[in-house]
């Protein structure tokens, strides 16, 4: 990213930014406007992940490449939890902003900085203490223990950079300013790739250089995000008078943050368990599943971004007490997501074979066959995936933070159980069937919870009338 672009964003008109709101106007346009930068950010992150491992593999060899893969499986568990914690805090900020409660917003900034720092320190300390045990549990080869430990030690010590970057970018998203958050993500990714190349290829820091590049890039972008927020949203920055002990805010912060963290962590653990079932299929099955994972990752980016956009929209309007606009937002969100779900159902089914051929050679006939079978089967149920993401965003937006945890645990239990039961007889398509069964269960669960909440709200309204 050029210096001119960054300076242009940092010096944008304050008056325009201050009035970033989702409380009025066309709902569909607002959702799309929110979702597009989120989608671009998700796709950008996937491109970075690919570039990161390519640099390591190209300059450090196959052992370092394998070490980054092993480290990633452990690291992502902690990063997903920390990112989830910040996503929970973003919902609090969005509700306060929608309600126009600037005083509570400023106090929450102070609470998030203080409580979040404690949580990050505890997470990093416990992770470092448990690292040898985790590497044994994941059956890390002895030859990779040293480089994996080196990589993860730097990442875990640098968790503060990750937290502050995600906190301030989450605040910007909560304000409806997803475009600025995207720009800083672009800066972070660009800087990360450049530092990767510098530390690994030029300075020969080894695998530790790749970890150091990640931490430094996040630290720089955390400072940039904070500076942007303090410059353009000064009226929302915590002041000396906002610093204090607020038990109710601390409780709410921990409730939202920890709930979102558990949701993200349980989702990742479930995926690891499914991977265990796939591993029983051998090299061809693993290769096929890796390929379909990349294809599904692209498709899921659209559903995930739509769900996140709805979550931000609902949070602001729920905080403002505009329940009718919240319900209309859910309706519009479902219509948009259903359209995308149907589109990707068709695309995945039609492009199943060429999609697999893009990742695998023609000599991997078994992997091509099982992978295309997986995609064609899962395509029939993709509408459920996008529906689930929409309800997930809705429940998060209204503050029902425990509902997503229950749904995810239920979904993953079904998905993992059926994957292990069916994979031996059906091969990789069995994992697709198990995934579809999980989607059916979670959507049914979400619809039931939604109807119960609506009935409770209607009864409360009737009793007070």
* CA–CA dist 33, 263 (Å, integer): 26
From the CA atom positions of the chain, what is the Rg in Å? 22
Q: Are 253 and 92 in contact (CB under 8 A)?
A: yes
- pLDDT at res. 61: 72
CB 16: neighbour CB atoms within 10 A?
Answer: 9
Of the chain, the percentage scoring pLDDT greater than 70 comes to 90
Q: How many CB atoms lie within 10 A of CB 240?
A: 7
- Is the distance from CB of 318 to CB of 398 less than 8 angstroms? yes
Predicted TM-score of the model (pTM): 0.81
| The pLDDT value given to residue 326 | 92
Question: How far lies 457's CA from each of 92, 338, 378, 395, 451, in Å?
Answer: 21, 26, 36, 14, 10
3-state secondary structure 174-189: HCCCHHHHHHHHHHHH
pLDDT tens digits for range 86-135: 999 999 999 999 989 999 999 999 999 999 999 999 999 988 998 888 88
Stretch 31-60: mean pLDDT: 78
Average pLDDT over residues 370-377: 92
Cβ pair 27, 310 in contact under 8 A: no
Rounded mean pLDDT, 34-63: 76
| Structure confidence at residue 8 (pLDDT) | 36
- Contacts by 38-44, CB closer than 8 A, 24 or more apart: 38/173, 38/178, 38/182, 38/305, 38/308, 38/309, 39/301, 39/302, 39/305, 40/182, 41/181, 41/182, 41/185, 42/301, 42/304, 42/305, 43/298, 43/301, 44/182, 44/185, 44/186, 44/189
d(CA 182, CA 172) in angstroms, rounded, equals: 10
CA-CA distance, 203 to 60, in Å (whole number)?
12
CA 88 to chain centre: 11
- E strand or H helix that includes residue 265: helix 247-279
Q: What long-range pairs does 214-218 form, CB within 8 A, spacing at least 24?
A: 214/52, 214/155, 214/158, 215/154, 215/155, 215/157, 215/158, 215/161, 215/162, 216/161, 216/191, 217/188, 217/189, 217/191, 217/192, 218/158, 218/161, 218/162, 218/165, 218/188, 218/192
* Residue range 250-264, pLDDT digits in tens: 999 999 999 989 888
Tens-place pLDDT, residues 280-339 = 888 788 778 878 887 888 888 899 999 989 998 999 899 888 989 999 999 999 999 999
Q: Are 112 and 253 a contacting pair, CB within 8 Å?
A: yes
CB 230 within 8 A of CB 109: no
Q: Which residue has the higher pLDDT, 456 or 251?
A: 251
Task: Measure the CA–CA gap between 422 and 103, rounded to whole angstroms.
Answer: 55
**Stated length of the chain:** 465
Is the pLDDT score of 138 beyond 60? yes
Q: Return d(Cα 270, Cα 267) in angstroms, integer.
A: 5
pLDDT greater than 90 at residue 171: yes
Cα–Cα dist 86/257, whole Å? 6
- Mean pLDDT over each residue of the chain, to the nearest integer: 85
User: Pick from 30, 91, 89: which is nearest to 325 by CA?
Assistant: 30
Residue 6's pLDDT band (boundaries 50, 70, 90)? very low
Q: Which two tokens stand for residue 82?
A: 């920390």
Structural domain boundaries in the chain? 26-244, 283-455
Residue 148 tokens, joined: 């994996």
pLDDT in tens, 182-221: 899 888 888 988 998 899 888 888 888 888 998 999 999 9
Q: Nearest Cα to 444, choosing from 397, 420, 411, 421?
A: 411
**Would you say 64 and 148 are in contact if contact means Cβ atoms under 8 Å apart?**
no
Give the integer Cα–Cα distance in Å for 444 and 448.
6
Query: Is residue 367 within 8 Å of residue 360, measured between CB atoms?
Result: yes
Q: Tokens in use for 359?
A: 């990742």
Reply yes or no on whether the pLDDT at 5 is more than 50. Answer: no
The pLDDT of 380-403, averaged and rounded, is 92
SS3 382: helix
pLDDT of 348 higher than 50: yes
Q: Which are the contacts of 25, defined by CB distance < 8 A and separation ≥ 6?
A: none
The pLDDT score that the predictor gives to residue 444 is 96
pLDDT number for residue 21: 61
Q: Give residue for tokens 């109807």.
A: 451
| Portion of the chain with pLDDT greater than 90, in percent | 43
Q: CB of 352 within 8 A of CB of 372?
A: yes
């Amino acid at each position: 990213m050029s210096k001119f672009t960054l300076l242009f964003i940092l010096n944008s008109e304050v008056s325009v930014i201050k009035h970033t709101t989702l409380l009025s106007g066309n709902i569909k346009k607002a959702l799309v406007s929110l979702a597009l930068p989120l989608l671009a950010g998700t796709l950008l992150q996937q491109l970075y992940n690919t570039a990161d491992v390519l640099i390591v593999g190209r300059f450090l060899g196959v052992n370092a490449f394998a070490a980054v893969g092993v480290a990633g499986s452990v690291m992502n568990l902690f990063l997903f939890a920390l990112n989830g914690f910040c996503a929970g805090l973003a919902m609090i900020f969005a509700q306060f902003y929608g309600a126009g409660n600037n005083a509570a917003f400023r106090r929450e900034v102070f609470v998030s900085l203080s409580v979040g720092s404690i949580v990050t320190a505890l997470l990093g300390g416990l992770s470092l203490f448990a690292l040898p045990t985790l590497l044994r549990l994941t059956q890390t080869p002895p030859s990779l223990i040293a480089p994996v430990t080196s990589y993860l030690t730097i990442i875990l010590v640098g968790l503060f950079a990750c937290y502050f970057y995600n906190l301030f970018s989450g605040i910007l998203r909560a304000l409806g300013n997803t475009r600025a958050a995207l720009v800083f993500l672009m800066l972070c990714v660009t800087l990360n790739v450049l530092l990767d190349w510098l530390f690994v290829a030029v300075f020969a820091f080894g695998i530790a250089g790749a970890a150091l590049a990640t931490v430094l890039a996040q630290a720089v972008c955390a400072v940039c995000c904070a500076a942007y927020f303090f410059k353009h949203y000064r009226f929302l920055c915590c002041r000396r008078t906002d610093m204090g002990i607020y038990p109710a805010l601390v409780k709410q912060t921990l409730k939202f943050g920890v709930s979102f963290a558990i949701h993200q962590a349980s989702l990742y653990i479930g995926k690891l368990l499914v991977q265990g079932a796939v591993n029983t299929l051998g090299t061809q099955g693993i290769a096929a599943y890796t390929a379909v994972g990349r294809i599904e990752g692209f498709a899921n980016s659209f559903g995930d971004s739509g769900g996140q956009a709805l979550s931000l929209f609902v949070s602001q309007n729920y905080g403002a007490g505009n329940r009718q606009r919240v319900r209309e937002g859910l309706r519009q969100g479902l219509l948009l997501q259903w359209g995308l779900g149907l589109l990707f159902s068709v695309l995945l089914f039609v492009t199943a074979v060429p999609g697999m051929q893009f990742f695998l050679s023609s000599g991997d006939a078994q992997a091509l066959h099982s992978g295309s079978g997986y995609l064609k089967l899962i395509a029939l149920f993709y509408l459920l995936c996008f529906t689930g993401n929409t309800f997930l965003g809705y429940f998060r937006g209204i503050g029902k933070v425990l509902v997503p945890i229950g749904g995810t645990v239920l979904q993953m239990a079904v998905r993992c159980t059926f994957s292990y039961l069916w994979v031996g007889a059906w091969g990789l398509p069995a994992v697709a069937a198990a995934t579809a069964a999980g989607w059916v269960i979670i959507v049914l669960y979400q619809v039931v919870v939604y109807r119960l909440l609506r009935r409770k709200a209607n009864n409360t309204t009737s009793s007070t009338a």
